[in-house]
Amino acid sequence: MTISIFPDMSGHATTFESEGLKDLLDTVQSSTPLLPGETWSGRILMVVPKRHGYLARTNCFQQRFIGCSDLGATKDRTVFGMGIKPVATDNIQGFLSDYLLIVVRTDRHGSHLCDEPTLIEEVDARLNFQWRLEDEPKQRTLAIVDGHLNLKSYLPFFNSAAALGIKFVLLESATHWITDSSLRHLYHHFIPIDMTPNDTFHERIASAVKAYGSVDGICAIATYCLLPVAKAAAMLGLPTAPPESVACAIDKYETRILAGGAEPTVLVGNVLELEGLMKTRGFVPQYPLIVKPGSGTGSAHVFRADTLVELLEAVRRICQGSNKKALIEAYIDGPELDVNFVLLDGEVLFFEIADDFPSPGDDGTIDSDFWENTNVLPSILPTEEYKVVRETLHELLLNMGLKTGVFHLEARVQNSAMTYGEEAGVIDLRPESTRAGENKKSPRCFLIEVNPRPPGMPCILSTAASYGVNMYDLHLLASLADHKRYRALSKPFDFEKLIPNHARAWSQLVWLRADKSGICSSDDVCNEFLQQLSPRDRALITESMCFFQRGQRIPELKQGVVLFGAFFVVTSRTNRHDVLRVAGALQKKFSIPVEEELGY
Protein backbone atom coordinates (compact mmCIF):
# COMPACT_ATOMS: atom_id res chain seq x y z
CA MET A 1 0.00 0.00 0.00
CA THR A 2 1.25 3.50 -0.83
CA ILE A 3 -0.09 6.55 1.01
CA SER A 4 0.52 10.16 -0.02
CA ILE A 5 0.09 13.06 2.41
CA PHE A 6 -1.09 16.27 0.77
CA PRO A 7 -1.44 19.66 2.48
CA ASP A 8 -4.90 21.07 3.12
CA MET A 9 -4.67 24.36 1.20
CA SER A 10 -7.55 25.84 3.20
CA GLY A 11 -5.54 25.56 6.40
CA HIS A 12 -8.28 23.52 8.06
CA ALA A 13 -7.70 20.23 9.79
CA THR A 14 -8.19 17.19 7.57
CA THR A 15 -11.50 15.39 8.06
CA PHE A 16 -12.22 11.76 7.24
CA GLU A 17 -15.49 10.06 6.38
CA SER A 18 -14.09 6.83 7.82
CA GLU A 19 -12.87 6.72 11.42
CA GLY A 20 -10.95 3.61 10.45
CA LEU A 21 -9.06 5.48 7.76
CA LYS A 22 -8.19 8.23 10.23
CA ASP A 23 -6.87 5.65 12.72
CA LEU A 24 -4.85 4.03 9.94
CA LEU A 25 -3.22 7.31 8.91
CA ASP A 26 -2.55 8.24 12.53
CA THR A 27 -0.80 4.90 13.03
CA VAL A 28 1.29 5.41 9.92
CA GLN A 29 2.27 8.86 11.14
CA SER A 30 3.19 7.49 14.58
CA SER A 31 5.64 5.03 13.04
CA THR A 32 6.97 7.21 10.21
CA PRO A 33 6.20 10.94 10.58
CA LEU A 34 5.44 12.40 7.16
CA LEU A 35 5.35 15.95 5.85
CA PRO A 36 2.80 17.19 3.30
CA GLY A 37 3.76 15.98 -0.15
CA GLU A 38 5.67 12.95 1.11
CA THR A 39 4.62 9.39 0.37
CA TRP A 40 4.68 6.31 2.58
CA SER A 41 5.08 2.81 1.26
CA GLY A 42 4.52 -0.27 3.37
CA ARG A 43 2.32 -3.21 4.23
CA ILE A 44 -0.62 -3.33 6.60
CA LEU A 45 -2.03 -6.34 8.43
CA MET A 46 -5.68 -5.98 9.41
CA VAL A 47 -7.65 -8.16 11.82
CA VAL A 48 -11.38 -8.20 11.01
CA PRO A 49 -14.26 -10.19 12.49
CA LYS A 50 -15.51 -13.34 10.76
CA ARG A 51 -18.68 -13.74 12.83
CA HIS A 52 -21.28 -11.65 14.61
CA GLY A 53 -20.82 -11.00 18.31
CA TYR A 54 -19.65 -8.53 20.93
CA LEU A 55 -16.24 -7.55 22.27
CA ALA A 56 -15.21 -8.74 25.73
CA ARG A 57 -12.99 -5.78 26.61
CA THR A 58 -11.71 -2.41 25.46
CA ASN A 59 -8.18 -2.73 24.05
CA CYS A 60 -8.36 -6.49 24.41
CA PHE A 61 -5.51 -6.95 21.90
CA GLN A 62 -3.21 -4.19 23.12
CA GLN A 63 -1.90 -6.02 26.17
CA ARG A 64 -1.16 -9.09 24.01
CA PHE A 65 1.52 -7.15 22.07
CA ILE A 66 3.74 -5.71 24.80
CA GLY A 67 7.36 -5.57 23.66
CA CYS A 68 6.49 -6.29 20.03
CA SER A 69 7.74 -3.15 18.29
CA ASP A 70 9.56 -5.31 15.74
CA LEU A 71 6.20 -6.50 14.41
CA GLY A 72 5.23 -2.95 13.43
CA ALA A 73 3.12 -0.10 14.78
CA THR A 74 -0.19 -1.41 16.15
CA LYS A 75 -3.59 0.16 16.71
CA ASP A 76 -6.24 -1.63 18.78
CA ARG A 77 -9.79 -0.41 18.00
CA THR A 78 -11.70 -2.81 20.27
CA VAL A 79 -14.27 -1.33 22.66
CA PHE A 80 -16.09 -3.18 25.45
CA GLY A 81 -19.51 -4.42 24.36
CA MET A 82 -19.18 -3.19 20.79
CA GLY A 83 -21.16 -5.21 18.29
CA ILE A 84 -19.15 -6.75 15.46
CA LYS A 85 -20.14 -8.32 12.14
CA PRO A 86 -18.36 -10.32 9.43
CA VAL A 87 -16.41 -8.39 6.82
CA ALA A 88 -16.29 -9.71 3.25
CA THR A 89 -12.74 -10.26 2.00
CA ASP A 90 -13.41 -8.32 -1.22
CA ASN A 91 -14.90 -5.29 0.56
CA ILE A 92 -12.11 -2.74 0.99
CA GLN A 93 -14.49 -0.16 2.46
CA GLY A 94 -15.65 -2.72 4.99
CA PHE A 95 -12.05 -3.48 5.92
CA LEU A 96 -11.26 0.20 6.44
CA SER A 97 -14.28 0.84 8.62
CA ASP A 98 -14.64 -2.40 10.62
CA TYR A 99 -11.11 -3.67 11.30
CA LEU A 100 -10.33 -4.30 14.98
CA LEU A 101 -6.53 -4.31 14.89
CA ILE A 102 -3.94 -3.11 12.42
CA VAL A 103 -0.20 -3.68 12.25
CA VAL A 104 1.56 -1.08 10.11
CA ARG A 105 4.94 -2.00 8.58
CA THR A 106 7.08 0.45 6.66
CA ASP A 107 9.16 -0.47 3.61
CA ARG A 108 11.77 2.12 4.58
CA HIS A 109 15.39 0.94 4.29
CA GLY A 110 17.03 0.00 7.58
CA SER A 111 13.76 -0.99 9.27
CA HIS A 112 14.14 -3.15 12.37
CA LEU A 113 10.99 -5.15 11.56
CA CYS A 114 10.84 -8.94 11.63
CA ASP A 115 10.02 -10.94 8.52
CA GLU A 116 6.40 -11.50 7.55
CA PRO A 117 6.20 -15.23 8.45
CA THR A 118 7.27 -14.27 11.99
CA LEU A 119 4.64 -11.53 12.04
CA ILE A 120 1.85 -13.93 11.04
CA GLU A 121 3.03 -16.54 13.55
CA GLU A 122 3.10 -14.00 16.40
CA VAL A 123 -0.29 -12.50 15.59
CA ASP A 124 -1.91 -15.94 15.40
CA ALA A 125 -0.26 -17.06 18.65
CA ARG A 126 -1.29 -13.91 20.52
CA LEU A 127 -4.90 -13.66 19.29
CA ASN A 128 -5.64 -17.25 20.34
CA PHE A 129 -8.19 -16.35 23.03
CA GLN A 130 -11.97 -15.90 22.96
CA TRP A 131 -12.23 -12.13 22.55
CA ARG A 132 -15.64 -12.38 20.86
CA LEU A 133 -18.74 -12.99 22.98
CA GLU A 134 -22.01 -14.44 21.74
CA ASP A 135 -24.15 -12.30 24.05
CA GLU A 136 -23.86 -8.58 24.66
CA PRO A 137 -22.03 -7.97 27.98
CA LYS A 138 -23.63 -5.64 30.50
CA GLN A 139 -21.96 -2.98 32.60
CA ARG A 140 -21.41 -4.24 36.13
CA THR A 141 -20.85 -2.51 39.46
CA LEU A 142 -18.21 -3.53 42.01
CA ALA A 143 -17.75 -2.23 45.53
CA ILE A 144 -14.00 -1.73 45.97
CA VAL A 145 -12.58 -1.65 49.49
CA ASP A 146 -9.31 0.32 49.88
CA GLY A 147 -8.19 3.00 47.44
CA HIS A 148 -4.48 2.06 47.29
CA LEU A 149 -1.46 3.93 48.58
CA ASN A 150 -1.15 6.33 45.66
CA LEU A 151 -2.42 7.16 42.19
CA LYS A 152 0.31 5.22 40.38
CA SER A 153 -0.63 1.96 42.07
CA TYR A 154 -4.38 2.60 41.67
CA LEU A 155 -4.48 3.39 37.95
CA PRO A 156 -3.66 -0.06 36.48
CA PHE A 157 -6.41 -1.60 38.64
CA PHE A 158 -8.89 1.13 37.68
CA ASN A 159 -7.92 0.89 34.00
CA SER A 160 -8.64 -2.84 34.00
CA ALA A 161 -12.09 -2.18 35.43
CA ALA A 162 -12.88 0.57 32.92
CA ALA A 163 -11.80 -1.66 30.01
CA LEU A 164 -14.09 -4.43 31.28
CA GLY A 165 -17.11 -2.17 31.64
CA ILE A 166 -17.00 -2.23 35.45
CA LYS A 167 -18.00 0.76 37.56
CA PHE A 168 -16.26 1.26 40.90
CA VAL A 169 -18.12 2.14 44.07
CA LEU A 170 -15.17 2.97 46.32
CA LEU A 171 -15.24 2.42 50.07
CA GLU A 172 -12.49 4.37 51.81
CA SER A 173 -11.66 6.82 54.56
CA ALA A 174 -13.22 10.27 54.08
CA THR A 175 -9.74 11.83 54.11
CA HIS A 176 -8.14 9.48 51.58
CA TRP A 177 -6.04 11.06 48.81
CA ILE A 178 -8.50 9.94 46.15
CA THR A 179 -11.20 12.28 47.51
CA ASP A 180 -9.41 15.21 45.84
CA SER A 181 -11.94 16.79 43.44
CA SER A 182 -9.54 16.46 40.50
CA LEU A 183 -9.73 12.65 40.82
CA ARG A 184 -13.51 12.33 40.81
CA HIS A 185 -13.42 10.52 37.44
CA LEU A 186 -11.61 7.56 39.03
CA TYR A 187 -14.73 6.07 40.62
CA HIS A 188 -18.49 6.02 40.06
CA HIS A 189 -19.48 6.66 43.67
CA PHE A 190 -17.53 7.16 46.90
CA ILE A 191 -18.69 5.85 50.28
CA PRO A 192 -16.76 7.12 53.32
CA ILE A 193 -16.18 4.36 55.84
CA ASP A 194 -14.12 3.68 58.95
CA MET A 195 -11.23 1.57 57.57
CA THR A 196 -9.92 0.39 60.97
CA PRO A 197 -9.10 -3.33 60.50
CA ASN A 198 -10.85 -4.59 63.64
CA ASP A 199 -13.40 -7.33 64.39
CA THR A 200 -16.33 -5.29 63.03
CA PHE A 201 -14.70 -4.15 59.78
CA HIS A 202 -16.69 -6.68 57.71
CA GLU A 203 -19.95 -5.53 59.27
CA ARG A 204 -19.22 -1.91 58.34
CA ILE A 205 -18.44 -2.97 54.76
CA ALA A 206 -21.65 -4.99 54.48
CA SER A 207 -23.76 -2.19 55.98
CA ALA A 208 -22.28 0.43 53.63
CA VAL A 209 -22.82 -1.76 50.55
CA LYS A 210 -26.36 -2.66 51.58
CA ALA A 211 -27.23 0.97 52.19
CA TYR A 212 -25.81 1.97 48.79
CA GLY A 213 -28.04 -0.40 46.88
CA SER A 214 -27.40 -2.77 44.02
CA VAL A 215 -23.84 -3.96 43.41
CA ASP A 216 -22.71 -7.14 41.67
CA GLY A 217 -19.78 -7.93 43.94
CA ILE A 218 -17.22 -6.72 46.48
CA CYS A 219 -13.51 -6.72 45.75
CA ALA A 220 -10.19 -5.89 47.43
CA ILE A 221 -6.51 -6.54 46.79
CA ALA A 222 -5.01 -5.13 50.00
CA THR A 223 -4.21 -8.04 52.28
CA TYR A 224 -5.76 -6.49 55.40
CA CYS A 225 -9.11 -6.21 53.55
CA LEU A 226 -9.29 -9.74 52.10
CA LEU A 227 -10.96 -11.50 55.04
CA PRO A 228 -13.38 -8.64 55.92
CA VAL A 229 -14.44 -8.44 52.25
CA ALA A 230 -14.98 -12.22 52.06
CA LYS A 231 -17.11 -12.09 55.21
CA ALA A 232 -19.11 -9.09 53.97
CA ALA A 233 -19.72 -10.69 50.56
CA ALA A 234 -20.90 -13.90 52.24
CA MET A 235 -23.29 -11.90 54.44
CA LEU A 236 -24.80 -10.25 51.35
CA GLY A 237 -24.89 -13.36 49.17
CA LEU A 238 -22.31 -12.00 46.72
CA PRO A 239 -19.55 -14.03 45.00
CA THR A 240 -16.62 -14.84 47.29
CA ALA A 241 -14.16 -17.49 48.32
CA PRO A 242 -15.16 -19.17 51.61
CA PRO A 243 -14.20 -16.78 54.45
CA GLU A 244 -12.70 -19.65 56.46
CA SER A 245 -10.43 -20.49 53.50
CA VAL A 246 -9.30 -16.88 53.18
CA ALA A 247 -8.68 -16.77 56.94
CA CYS A 248 -6.43 -19.84 56.70
CA ALA A 249 -4.48 -18.42 53.76
CA ILE A 250 -3.65 -15.09 55.38
CA ASP A 251 -2.64 -16.73 58.68
CA LYS A 252 0.91 -17.90 58.09
CA TYR A 253 0.88 -20.23 61.09
CA GLU A 254 -2.36 -21.97 60.02
CA THR A 255 -0.99 -22.26 56.49
CA ARG A 256 2.25 -23.77 57.80
CA ILE A 257 0.40 -26.34 59.91
CA LEU A 258 -1.66 -27.36 56.88
CA ALA A 259 1.30 -27.50 54.48
CA GLY A 260 3.82 -28.95 56.95
CA GLY A 261 7.41 -29.63 55.98
CA ALA A 262 9.09 -26.90 58.03
CA GLU A 263 9.57 -28.55 61.40
CA PRO A 264 10.38 -27.45 64.02
CA THR A 265 7.59 -24.85 63.87
CA VAL A 266 6.20 -22.68 66.66
CA LEU A 267 4.30 -19.40 67.11
CA VAL A 268 5.30 -17.20 70.05
CA GLY A 269 4.18 -13.82 71.38
CA ASN A 270 7.49 -12.72 72.91
CA VAL A 271 11.00 -13.79 73.86
CA LEU A 272 9.96 -15.00 77.32
CA GLU A 273 7.42 -17.39 75.80
CA LEU A 274 10.05 -18.80 73.46
CA GLU A 275 12.58 -19.24 76.28
CA GLY A 276 9.92 -21.04 78.32
CA LEU A 277 9.17 -23.46 75.47
CA MET A 278 12.86 -24.19 74.96
CA LYS A 279 13.34 -24.75 78.70
CA THR A 280 10.61 -27.42 78.73
CA ARG A 281 11.76 -28.75 75.33
CA GLY A 282 8.40 -27.80 73.84
CA PHE A 283 10.54 -26.29 71.08
CA VAL A 284 14.01 -27.48 70.18
CA PRO A 285 15.62 -25.18 67.60
CA GLN A 286 17.45 -26.71 64.63
CA TYR A 287 19.39 -24.08 62.72
CA PRO A 288 19.12 -22.37 60.33
CA LEU A 289 15.65 -21.02 61.07
CA ILE A 290 13.34 -18.42 59.52
CA VAL A 291 11.56 -16.05 61.89
CA LYS A 292 8.71 -13.90 60.53
CA PRO A 293 5.43 -12.29 61.57
CA GLY A 294 2.52 -14.70 61.81
CA SER A 295 0.44 -12.52 59.48
CA GLY A 296 0.86 -9.60 57.13
CA THR A 297 2.23 -8.92 53.67
CA GLY A 298 5.56 -8.25 52.04
CA SER A 299 8.84 -9.31 53.61
CA ALA A 300 8.97 -6.85 56.48
CA HIS A 301 10.57 -8.19 59.67
CA VAL A 302 11.68 -11.53 58.18
CA PHE A 303 14.97 -12.85 59.53
CA ARG A 304 17.25 -15.83 59.20
CA ALA A 305 18.65 -17.10 62.51
CA ASP A 306 21.74 -19.31 62.66
CA THR A 307 22.34 -19.12 66.42
CA LEU A 308 20.34 -18.84 69.64
CA VAL A 309 21.39 -15.19 70.01
CA GLU A 310 20.04 -14.38 66.53
CA LEU A 311 16.84 -16.34 67.18
CA LEU A 312 16.03 -14.42 70.35
CA GLU A 313 16.90 -11.10 68.69
CA ALA A 314 14.69 -11.89 65.67
CA VAL A 315 11.72 -12.69 67.92
CA ARG A 316 12.28 -9.50 69.88
CA ARG A 317 12.42 -7.36 66.72
CA ILE A 318 9.26 -8.91 65.27
CA CYS A 319 7.14 -8.72 68.42
CA GLN A 320 8.23 -5.16 69.18
CA GLY A 321 8.58 -3.83 65.63
CA SER A 322 5.43 -5.28 64.08
CA ASN A 323 3.29 -5.89 67.18
CA LYS A 324 2.61 -9.40 65.91
CA LYS A 325 3.43 -12.88 67.02
CA ALA A 326 6.60 -14.46 65.61
CA LEU A 327 6.42 -17.62 63.54
CA ILE A 328 9.56 -19.78 63.73
CA GLU A 329 10.15 -22.50 61.15
CA ALA A 330 12.96 -24.33 59.36
CA TYR A 331 14.94 -22.48 56.71
CA ILE A 332 14.69 -24.52 53.51
CA ASP A 333 17.40 -24.04 50.91
CA GLY A 334 16.71 -24.10 47.17
CA PRO A 335 15.60 -21.77 44.38
CA GLU A 336 12.78 -19.45 45.47
CA LEU A 337 9.74 -19.00 43.23
CA ASP A 338 6.82 -16.66 42.72
CA VAL A 339 3.84 -18.76 41.62
CA ASN A 340 0.46 -17.63 40.31
CA PHE A 341 -2.67 -19.72 39.80
CA VAL A 342 -5.96 -18.82 38.13
CA LEU A 343 -8.57 -21.38 39.18
CA LEU A 344 -12.22 -21.92 38.25
CA ASP A 345 -14.05 -24.54 40.30
CA GLY A 346 -10.66 -26.16 40.97
CA GLU A 347 -9.59 -26.25 37.31
CA VAL A 348 -6.27 -24.59 36.50
CA LEU A 349 -6.94 -22.00 33.79
CA PHE A 350 -3.56 -20.31 34.04
CA PHE A 351 -0.38 -21.14 35.93
CA GLU A 352 3.04 -19.50 35.94
CA ILE A 353 6.30 -19.66 37.84
CA ALA A 354 8.83 -16.83 38.07
CA ASP A 355 12.39 -17.39 39.27
CA ASP A 356 12.76 -15.20 42.37
CA PHE A 357 16.45 -14.36 42.68
CA PRO A 358 18.23 -14.59 46.08
CA SER A 359 17.63 -11.91 48.71
CA PRO A 360 20.35 -10.51 51.00
CA GLY A 361 18.97 -12.57 53.89
CA ASP A 362 19.63 -15.91 52.20
CA ASP A 363 23.36 -15.68 52.90
CA GLY A 364 23.48 -12.67 55.20
CA THR A 365 23.27 -11.87 58.89
CA ILE A 366 20.43 -11.04 61.25
CA ASP A 367 20.51 -7.51 59.82
CA SER A 368 19.97 -8.70 56.22
CA ASP A 369 16.50 -8.70 54.68
CA PHE A 370 14.34 -10.95 52.50
CA TRP A 371 12.74 -8.26 50.35
CA GLU A 372 12.64 -9.09 46.66
CA ASN A 373 15.33 -7.79 44.34
CA THR A 374 14.32 -9.22 41.01
CA ASN A 375 12.48 -12.09 39.37
CA VAL A 376 12.47 -13.51 35.86
CA LEU A 377 9.73 -15.29 33.99
CA PRO A 378 9.09 -17.81 32.73
CA SER A 379 11.04 -20.05 35.09
CA ILE A 380 13.74 -22.32 33.71
CA LEU A 381 13.20 -25.04 36.31
CA PRO A 382 13.48 -28.55 34.85
CA THR A 383 10.18 -30.05 33.66
CA GLU A 384 10.03 -32.50 36.58
CA GLU A 385 10.42 -29.73 39.17
CA TYR A 386 7.91 -27.49 37.35
CA LYS A 387 5.39 -30.32 37.53
CA VAL A 388 6.07 -30.97 41.24
CA VAL A 389 5.51 -27.29 42.06
CA ARG A 390 2.26 -27.12 40.10
CA GLU A 391 0.80 -30.33 41.53
CA THR A 392 1.86 -29.69 45.13
CA LEU A 393 0.57 -26.13 45.33
CA HIS A 394 -2.62 -26.84 43.38
CA GLU A 395 -3.49 -29.62 45.83
CA LEU A 396 -2.74 -27.30 48.74
CA LEU A 397 -5.09 -24.59 47.42
CA LEU A 398 -7.87 -27.13 46.97
CA ASN A 399 -7.31 -28.48 50.49
CA MET A 400 -7.69 -24.92 51.76
CA GLY A 401 -11.00 -24.63 49.94
CA LEU A 402 -9.67 -22.05 47.47
CA LYS A 403 -11.16 -23.21 44.17
CA THR A 404 -11.97 -20.06 42.18
CA GLY A 405 -9.86 -16.93 41.95
CA VAL A 406 -6.37 -15.56 41.41
CA PHE A 407 -3.81 -16.77 43.94
CA HIS A 408 -0.23 -15.61 44.47
CA LEU A 409 2.08 -18.05 46.27
CA GLU A 410 5.74 -18.15 47.20
CA ALA A 411 7.70 -21.36 47.42
CA ARG A 412 11.09 -23.04 47.14
CA VAL A 413 12.27 -26.23 45.46
CA GLN A 414 14.29 -28.35 47.86
CA ASN A 415 16.77 -30.80 46.28
CA SER A 416 16.58 -28.87 43.00
CA ALA A 417 18.89 -29.69 40.12
CA MET A 418 19.40 -25.90 39.74
CA THR A 419 21.15 -23.27 41.79
CA TYR A 420 22.06 -19.61 41.31
CA GLY A 421 25.50 -18.99 39.89
CA GLU A 422 27.43 -16.29 38.07
CA GLU A 423 28.96 -16.57 34.60
CA ALA A 424 30.52 -13.65 32.71
CA GLY A 425 29.10 -11.28 35.32
CA VAL A 426 25.50 -12.51 34.91
CA ILE A 427 23.69 -14.29 37.77
CA ASP A 428 21.04 -16.85 36.80
CA LEU A 429 19.75 -20.31 37.63
CA ARG A 430 22.28 -22.88 36.46
CA PRO A 431 22.68 -26.67 36.81
CA GLU A 432 23.89 -27.71 40.26
CA SER A 433 27.31 -29.15 39.47
CA THR A 434 28.02 -30.41 43.00
CA ARG A 435 25.15 -32.91 42.72
CA ALA A 436 26.40 -34.50 39.51
CA GLY A 437 26.92 -38.23 40.04
CA GLU A 438 25.41 -38.17 43.55
CA ASN A 439 22.40 -40.16 44.65
CA LYS A 440 19.95 -37.35 44.09
CA LYS A 441 16.97 -36.87 46.35
CA SER A 442 13.65 -36.18 44.68
CA PRO A 443 12.74 -32.51 44.36
CA ARG A 444 10.22 -31.25 46.93
CA CYS A 445 8.10 -28.12 46.73
CA PHE A 446 8.20 -26.16 49.97
CA LEU A 447 5.46 -23.58 50.48
CA ILE A 448 6.46 -20.21 51.92
CA GLU A 449 3.08 -18.45 51.86
CA VAL A 450 -0.31 -18.20 50.15
CA ASN A 451 -1.94 -14.91 49.18
CA PRO A 452 -5.62 -15.20 48.13
CA ARG A 453 -5.23 -12.26 45.75
CA PRO A 454 -3.23 -11.30 42.66
CA PRO A 455 0.45 -10.39 42.96
CA GLY A 456 1.54 -6.76 43.18
CA MET A 457 1.05 -4.34 40.31
CA PRO A 458 4.61 -4.62 38.87
CA CYS A 459 4.25 -8.42 38.75
CA ILE A 460 0.91 -8.00 36.95
CA LEU A 461 2.70 -5.97 34.26
CA SER A 462 5.55 -8.46 33.78
CA THR A 463 3.14 -11.41 33.50
CA ALA A 464 1.13 -9.52 30.86
CA ALA A 465 4.34 -9.01 28.86
CA SER A 466 5.29 -12.70 28.93
CA TYR A 467 1.89 -14.40 28.69
CA GLY A 468 -0.67 -11.78 27.63
CA VAL A 469 -2.70 -12.44 30.79
CA ASN A 470 -3.79 -9.55 33.02
CA MET A 471 -4.46 -10.85 36.53
CA TYR A 472 -6.19 -7.63 37.59
CA ASP A 473 -8.79 -8.34 34.89
CA LEU A 474 -9.26 -11.85 36.23
CA HIS A 475 -9.49 -10.82 39.88
CA LEU A 476 -12.22 -8.32 39.03
CA LEU A 477 -14.15 -10.82 36.91
CA ALA A 478 -13.89 -13.50 39.64
CA SER A 479 -15.38 -11.00 42.11
CA LEU A 480 -18.37 -10.70 39.76
CA ALA A 481 -18.61 -14.44 39.00
CA ASP A 482 -18.33 -13.42 35.31
CA HIS A 483 -16.92 -16.81 34.45
CA LYS A 484 -17.26 -16.62 30.65
CA ARG A 485 -14.93 -13.65 30.35
CA TYR A 486 -12.82 -14.95 33.24
CA ARG A 487 -12.11 -18.16 31.33
CA ALA A 488 -11.62 -16.37 28.00
CA LEU A 489 -9.11 -13.79 29.29
CA SER A 490 -7.09 -16.30 31.31
CA LYS A 491 -5.72 -18.03 28.21
CA PRO A 492 -1.97 -17.51 27.66
CA PHE A 493 -0.26 -17.41 24.28
CA ASP A 494 0.29 -20.47 22.12
CA PHE A 495 3.55 -22.33 22.72
CA GLU A 496 6.77 -20.79 21.44
CA LYS A 497 9.46 -23.34 20.62
CA LEU A 498 12.31 -21.46 22.34
CA ILE A 499 10.49 -20.14 25.43
CA PRO A 500 8.80 -22.53 27.88
CA ASN A 501 5.32 -22.75 29.36
CA HIS A 502 3.17 -20.69 26.94
CA ALA A 503 5.27 -17.56 27.34
CA ARG A 504 6.35 -15.71 24.22
CA ALA A 505 8.77 -13.32 25.90
CA TRP A 506 11.27 -13.29 28.75
CA SER A 507 10.42 -10.63 31.34
CA GLN A 508 12.41 -9.47 34.33
CA LEU A 509 10.95 -7.34 37.10
CA VAL A 510 13.67 -5.27 38.74
CA TRP A 511 12.95 -3.66 42.12
CA LEU A 512 15.23 -0.75 42.97
CA ARG A 513 15.54 0.52 46.50
CA ALA A 514 15.40 4.08 47.77
CA ASP A 515 18.85 3.73 49.28
CA LYS A 516 19.32 7.34 50.47
CA SER A 517 17.04 9.56 52.52
CA GLY A 518 16.50 13.21 51.62
CA ILE A 519 14.53 15.31 49.15
CA CYS A 520 14.16 13.83 45.66
CA SER A 521 15.84 16.15 43.14
CA SER A 522 14.58 14.60 39.88
CA ASP A 523 11.36 15.14 37.95
CA ASP A 524 11.51 11.69 36.33
CA VAL A 525 14.53 9.67 37.38
CA CYS A 526 13.40 6.57 35.45
CA ASN A 527 13.28 8.43 32.15
CA GLU A 528 16.57 10.19 32.89
CA PHE A 529 18.21 6.83 33.46
CA LEU A 530 16.70 5.31 30.32
CA GLN A 531 18.34 8.02 28.23
CA GLN A 532 21.72 6.67 29.37
CA LEU A 533 21.01 3.27 27.79
CA SER A 534 21.69 2.41 24.17
CA PRO A 535 18.61 2.55 21.89
CA ARG A 536 18.72 -1.26 21.64
CA ASP A 537 18.69 -1.74 25.41
CA ARG A 538 16.18 1.06 25.96
CA ALA A 539 13.74 -0.71 23.64
CA LEU A 540 13.70 -3.68 26.06
CA ILE A 541 12.21 -1.58 28.89
CA THR A 542 8.44 -2.07 28.59
CA GLU A 543 7.45 -0.55 31.95
CA SER A 544 9.07 1.74 34.50
CA MET A 545 7.87 3.73 37.47
CA CYS A 546 9.54 5.88 40.11
CA PHE A 547 7.68 6.30 43.38
CA PHE A 548 9.26 9.68 44.18
CA GLN A 549 9.32 12.98 42.28
CA ARG A 550 11.10 16.27 42.76
CA GLY A 551 10.42 17.81 46.15
CA GLN A 552 9.11 14.61 47.79
CA ARG A 553 10.81 13.42 50.94
CA ILE A 554 12.44 9.98 51.06
CA PRO A 555 12.33 9.04 54.74
CA GLU A 556 14.99 7.40 56.86
CA LEU A 557 14.88 3.62 56.62
CA LYS A 558 13.34 1.62 59.46
CA GLN A 559 14.85 -1.58 60.79
CA GLY A 560 13.43 -4.63 59.03
CA VAL A 561 11.62 -2.59 56.35
CA VAL A 562 12.84 -1.80 52.84
CA LEU A 563 11.63 1.23 50.89
CA PHE A 564 11.38 0.73 47.14
CA GLY A 565 12.11 3.74 44.96
CA ALA A 566 11.32 2.41 41.49
CA PHE A 567 10.82 -0.63 39.34
CA PHE A 568 11.53 -1.57 35.73
CA VAL A 569 10.17 -4.39 33.58
CA VAL A 570 12.67 -5.62 30.97
CA THR A 571 11.21 -7.73 28.14
CA SER A 572 12.80 -9.63 25.25
CA ARG A 573 11.26 -12.00 22.73
CA THR A 574 14.69 -13.27 21.77
CA ASN A 575 16.62 -14.44 24.81
CA ARG A 576 16.82 -14.46 28.57
CA HIS A 577 20.41 -13.25 28.64
CA ASP A 578 19.44 -9.84 27.24
CA VAL A 579 16.96 -9.12 30.04
CA LEU A 580 19.46 -10.30 32.67
CA ARG A 581 22.19 -8.10 31.21
CA VAL A 582 20.05 -4.94 31.06
CA ALA A 583 18.57 -5.62 34.50
CA GLY A 584 22.06 -6.02 35.90
CA ALA A 585 23.00 -2.57 34.59
CA LEU A 586 19.90 -1.11 36.23
CA GLN A 587 20.75 -2.68 39.58
CA LYS A 588 24.34 -1.44 39.49
CA LYS A 589 23.81 2.11 38.29
CA PHE A 590 20.31 3.29 39.26
CA SER A 591 19.95 5.63 42.22
CA ILE A 592 17.45 8.35 43.08
CA PRO A 593 19.26 11.71 43.37
CA VAL A 594 18.50 13.49 46.65
CA GLU A 595 19.25 16.77 48.35
CA GLU A 596 19.87 17.05 52.07
CA GLU A 597 16.89 18.18 54.13
CA LEU A 598 17.31 21.52 55.83
CA GLY A 599 16.47 21.45 59.50
CA TYR A 600 16.99 17.70 59.92
* Mean pLDDT to the nearest integer, 511-532: 88
Close Cβ partners of 291 (under 8 Å, ≥ 6 residues apart)? 302, 303, 304, 305, 311, 314, 315, 318, 326, 327, 328
Q: Which segment, 420-429, 468-477, 530-539, is predicted with the most confidence on average? A: 468-477
Which is more confident, 449 or 432?
Answer: 449
What are the pLDDT digits (tens) for 345-378? 999 999 999 999 998 888 878 888 888 889 999 9
Cα distances (angstroms) measured from residue 206 to each of 43, 209, 217, 377, 539 = 56, 5, 11, 39, 47
3-state class percentages of the chain: helix first, strand second, coil last, to nearest 5: 35, 25, 40
Q: Write down the pTM of the prediction.
A: 0.93
Q: How confident is the model at residue 600 (pLDDT cuts 50, 70, 90)?
A: very low
User: Above pLDDT 70, what percent of the chain?
Assistant: 94
Q: What is the 3-state secondary structure (H, E, C) of 269-321?
A: CCHHHHHHHHHCCCCCCCCCEEEEECECCCCCCCEEECCHHHHHHHHHHHHHH
Cα distances (angstroms) measured from residue 451 to each of 224, 323, 535 = 11, 21, 38
Domains of the chain: 2-133 (no CATH), 140-240 (3.40.50.20), 263-330 (3.30.1490.20), 505-600 (3.90.1170)
* Mean pLDDT to the nearest integer, 545-573: 87
What are the pLDDT digits (tens) for 34-92? 777 778 888 899 999 999 999 999 999 999 999 999 999 999 999 999 999 998 877 78
What are the pLDDT digits (tens) for 295-339? 877 777 899 999 999 999 999 999 988 889 999 999 999 999 999
